[in-house]
Amino acid sequence: MNDTDCAFDDLLYRSLSLFRQFRLYDDPIEGENAFKLLREAEKIINDTRDNICIAKWGCTIECLAHKFYIDGHTDGMLSDVDAFLIKEWKRKKKSFLEKYIVFLWLGEYFLLRVKNDRSRHQSRNKQMVSKILSFLTDILRKSDKQEISNIFSLDVFDETVNWVKEICDMHLFEKQVVALLERLYALQEEKMIPQRESKESSFWRQMWDFYY
């Protein structure tokens, strides 16, 4: 995760924080500033077309919709994000080991899309989550110890587990969920998960804290 990614995460986090303050204090200026930061983040993804930033921005939109800060009918707002990330998914197989975080964020995004029951694309969103579950399970079964070390840091492992548990709590894809959790816990038991941490965990925690 580079400095640009950190700055983008900070922009989204500050926007979420201002939305909270807007509701808490009923201060329209905080609301205006929150939307301003969100538009700044949108400009960045339009300029850079960075897949992780696009997924994070889309996750932020779904979090805001869930808390009724914006209209819950997000299909129109997120149609370009949907299309871009599905295209990214279709290019997945050649460079998985370098892009594990990309696919985890795709999983986060489409899970939040599934959680939005006002979306007209529930079938497609669920299909994407199912595909990502199966793909991650298959890759982790085939990867050797060095490859696992390259994929995971401790917080990335923890967030993968949390993502799968979120799916489990929705009673979706139970066999796939069990298969991936079994593989993840086997890697942990075999002490194949590095104990280092990355900077990815910060926005994950902030996003899910805001959602709930």
pLDDT 10s digits, 139-183 = 888 888 888 888 888 888 999 999 999 999 999 999 999 999 999
Query: Hey, CA dihedral for 159, 165, 167, 172, is it positive or negative?
Result: positive
Q: Is residue 162 a contact partner of residue 200, using CB atoms and an 8 Å limit? A: no
Q: What is the tens place of the pLDDT at every residue in 1-26?
A: 555 567 899 999 999 999 999 999 99
3-state secondary structure string, 132-166? Answer: HHHHHHHHHHHCCHHHHHHHCCHHHHHHHHHHHHH
Count: domains in the chain: 1
Q: What is the dihedral of CA 117, 122, 125, 129, to 10 degrees?
A: 80
Q: What is the tens place of the pLDDT at every residue in 49-64?
A: 999 999 999 999 999 9
Question: Residue 193 and residue 145: Cα distance in Å, rounded?
Answer: 9
For the entire predicted model, the pTM comes to: 0.93
73: tokens are: 């009918």
Give the residue numbers spanning the domain of 64: 3-211
55: tokens are: 């997924």
